[in-house]
Structure formats: structure tokens, C-alpha cells
Amino acid sequence: MDDTKRRLTRQFIIFQLIAFGSFAPMNYYNVFLKEIGFSSQQIGLWASIGGVIAMVTLPIWGIISDKIRSPKKTYLISMVVYAAIFALMPTAGRMLALSSLPLYALIVLYYLVKQPTHSLQDAWFVSTLSARGVNYSVTRLWGSAGFAVVSLGIGMVVDFTGIDAVFYLAPLLILPLTILCLRFREEDYNTPEYRALEQAEREKQKAQTVKLQPWKLFKNYYFVTAFIMTIVLSIYTAITGSFYAYILEHAGVSAEKYGLISGYGAFVQVACMLFVNRYCRRASLPKLLIAAGIFAVAENVLYAVASNLFMMFIAGTVWGISMGINVTALPTYIYSLVPREYAATAQTFNGTVIMVLAIVGNLAGGYLIASIGIVQYNFGVAALQAVLTLLFALSIPFGRKVLKIPAPDSVVNAQ
């Protein structure tokens, strides 16, 4: 690796550490709602409303990013809004008896930026690094490390500080991240090869008279089938996290332990990413995603049978393995399937699929948990993940051998 790539890698490692550290307080969002009196149906309903908000606005974030050719700017806007929301959330929550309007307004804003902070970050990080020959997953594992450290730290002190204090951590971390990102100039890291690529891209764009047509991505069979694994591997983020306090309650574990379990799971995720990057290079990205799906099934089965803190840590181990494979393979796989000019749009479409899942899953989940219980609910989720993982596994040979659709190298070849 040349000096330019080393400097770029170091820069994005710092970005990942701080950015994902700032996401750790999100673990306590639904725990906070439960603490101030929200029922499972209310939590599920608000998560579904949030999914509708994000589904409508998320593609707009991506299209704007591609139009202005700066996912960094839109990413920073979403992060600053997220920081402001979390700084105000505890006060609004404690005012609920006087007026629900401030809290509800913050919840709406939260869902307006929650998914874009992740999708736009992936779009900016992946496109910037991949175009310069840097492996995204090398920096991404440091994001998991940052998340793990902050989550464990929160888990150790939340019994003493209370949940409200957790929310103030997000703006404290996002402030230095914003300053560092604003100071970052991509042109300082352009290699000669990249400059040649950029020049060719600019000439190509000048020659084109047709505007961007993001909907053409849905004619890409392998891009569309990738959404199957997006659903399987996003159930934890989109749905399970909303009801994790109920999973802990069933297992006889206090909700305040959430940070310890998720922090531990994030460390497992880092170890898994290191293992995948080092030893799984001969596996194609779809095979890695299928493996992640199998671990996701096991995770939800463990949630259903867990009865103590030790079993929840086992479930956290399996979650860490699944997520480690997921974040190593899925963003890179999606990026590899689309033209470069559609990078941000593709990632935000992927985020929109997550939002659709969140709308349906949270709305149904809140009522299912209230009616059939958390155990049967988790078994049902595991069954759904198993079916979808099998469907994805079959979709690739079906596309190649039955539909005769040529597969990109990333579908059939090793990384």
C-alpha cells in the first residue's frame, strides 16, 4: 500500500471510530421510550410511522447526493440533526405529562435522519475508498470497535448516570467528527490512477445528454435479488432493536444491560471482520451473505430460548458473527452491482428496503408480541430469515442458468 492509501485509510479509520461510537446511544432509544411509559404497540407503531417517513425521504437524500456529487455534505447534515435531536430528547421525554408534542416532533425528526446517517455514510465511505483502491471493510471494522467501546462504557455507567445521560453523548462525539469531515479534502488523496479515472468520467459525463435515471437500477436482476439479504440481515436493526427490552425482560435481564451485550457483540463483530478479511478471500460475496443469514437465524432462535444473561451473551456472539459478515460483504456487494454514478442512490434504495421492512415488521411486531408473546415472535422471525436466505441462495443459479442473465464478477468469483 502506497503512502497516499495509508493516509486515506488512517483518516477513515478515525471517521469510523467516532461515527459508530456516536451511534451507540441509539441502543437506548427504545429502552428510553419503554421507561417513560410507551407500550410495545406504541413503540412498534412509532417505528412503523418512522419507517414511512424514512422510506419516502431516503431516496431523495441519495438522489440529491448524486446530483450534487457530495454524499459527504448530506451525510454531515443528517449527523448534525441527529446530534441535536438526542441532545433534546431527554427533556422532551420528561415533559410528556405536560405535552406530548415536543417528544413526537423529535421522534419524527429522528426517523427522518436515522437511516440516512447509515446509508449516506456507506455511500460516501465506500465510493471514496473503493475508487482509490482501499478496502472499505478494513476501515469498517474500526467502526465496530468504536461502537463496542462506547456501548460497553455506557453499559458500565448507565446504572449510575441514568438513561437520560446516554443521549448527551451523541452530540459530544458528532462535534469533532463534523470538524474532521469538513477539514477532509478528497483531492489530497487522489492517486495518479484515480485522476485518470476521474478525467475519463468527466469526459463521459460531458458526452452524455441523458439525466440520471435511478429507476433503471431495478432492471438489474442481481441488484434486486440482493435486497433479499438486505431484509434478512437488517431485521435486527429494523425490528429487533425496537423490542430488545422485551427480549431482555423475558430472559430475566435488566434493560440497562443492553449496552454491555451490544458492546460485547460488536467486539465479536470486529474479530469476525478480521477473520473474513484474512481467511475468506476465496469465497464469493453471495456465499458470505448466505453464511451471515444462517447465523441470523440462529440468533433469533437463541433470543427465543434465552433465560439468563449468559445465554444473552451467547446470542450476542452469534449476532456479532452475522453482523461482521454483513458489514464486510453487503455494502461492497451492492456497490459492485451498479454503475459508479449511482452509488449513493443504490445504497439509499437499499436503505429504503430496510424502511419498508421496519414499517411492516414494527407495526406487526408490537401487536404480535402483545398477543402471542416474545418467544413465538422470535421463532417466527427466525423462520422468515431461513426461508429468505434459501430463496437468495437459489436466486443466483436461477438467474444464471434458467434466465440466462450474465452475472458480474462479484456474484460468482472470489473477492
The residue assigned the cell 486515506 is: 8
Interatomic CA distance for residues 96 and 81, integer angstroms: 22
Q: Please tell me the pTM assigned to this model.
A: 0.75
CATH code for residues 3-409: 1.20.1250.20
3-state secondary structure of 135: coil
Residue 137 has pLDDT above 80, yes or no: no
Answer for the pair 48, 359: CB distance below 8 angstroms, yes or no.
yes
Grouping H, G, I as helix, E, B as strand and the rest as coil, residue 267 is helix
Please check whether residue 404 is in contact with residue 273, taking contact to mean a CB–CB distance below 8 angstroms: no
Q: By the 8 A CB rule, do 300 and 379 touch?
A: yes
The DSSP code for 185 is -
Q: Which residues contact 150 (CB under 8 A, 6 or more apart)?
A: 20, 21, 22, 24, 25, 169, 173, 263
pLDDT bin (cut points 50, 70, 90) of residue 389 is: very high
Q: Which of 125-139, 154-168, 199-213 has the lowest mean pLDDT?
A: 199-213
| Residue 204, pLDDT above cutoff 70 | no
Of 135-144, 157-166, 206-215, minimum mean pLDDT range? 206-215
213 Cβ contact list (under 8 Å, min separation 6): none
**Angstrom distance (rounded) from CA 148 to CA 319:** 13
Neighbours of 7 (CB within 10 A): 12
Find the range with the poorest average confidence among 215-229, 319-333, 352-366, 376-390.
352-366
pLDDT tops 80 at residue 352: no
Q: pLDDT tens digits for 286-296?
A: 999 999 999 99
Lowest mean pLDDT among 201-205, 228-232, 304-308: 201-205
The pLDDT tens digits for 242-266 are 888 889 999 999 888 888 998 899 8
pLDDT, averaged across the chain = 84
- pLDDT of residue 1 exceeding 60: no
- Res 207: pLDDT: 47
Residue type, 269: Q
Locate 107 and state its grid cell.
421522534
pLDDT band, residue 190 (cuts 50/70/90) = low
Q: 357 or 21, which is more confident?
A: 21
Higher pLDDT pick, 327 / 390? 390
CB-based burial of residue 209 (10 Å sphere; 0-12 exposed, 13-18 middle, 19+ buried)? exposed
What SS3 class is residue 143?
Answer: helix
Alpha-carbon distance of 328 to 276, in angstroms, equals 8
- pLDDT band, very low/low/confident/very high, at 209 (cuts 50, 70, 90): very low
Report whether pLDDT(278) > 70.
yes
Q: 226: buried, middle or exposed (CB in 10 Å: 19+, 13-18, 0-12)?
A: buried
CA distance between the termini of the chain: 18
Tabulate helix, strand, coil % of the chain (nearest 5): 85, 0, 15
Which whole number is the average pLDDT over 15-27?
A: 90
Q: What is the mean pLDDT of residues 124-149?
A: 82
Burial (0-12, 13-18, 19+ Cβ within 10 Å), 356: middle
Instruction: Please report the pLDDT score of residue 294 as a whole number.
Output: 96
Domain positions in the chain are 3-409
Q: What is the mean pLDDT of residues 73-82?
A: 88
Q: What pLDDT, on a 0 to 100 scale, did the predictor assign at position 197?
A: 61
DSSP 135-180: -HHHHHHHHHHHHHHHHHHHHHHHHHH-HHHHHTHHHHHHHHHHHH
Q: CA-CA distances (angstroms) from residue 178 to 76, 88, 138, 173, 219?
A: 7, 19, 22, 9, 37
Alpha helices in 252-373 (DSSP H): 258-279, 285-305, 309-336, 343-372
Give pLDDT tens digits for 2-16.
777 888 888 899 999
Q: Is the pLDDT of residue 320 over 90?
A: yes
373-386: average pLDDT? 93
Candidate from 41-45, 203-207, 295-299, 360-364 with smallest mean pLDDT? 203-207
For residue 177, count CB atoms less than 10 angstroms from its CB and return exposed for 0-12, middle for 13-18, buried for 19 or more: buried
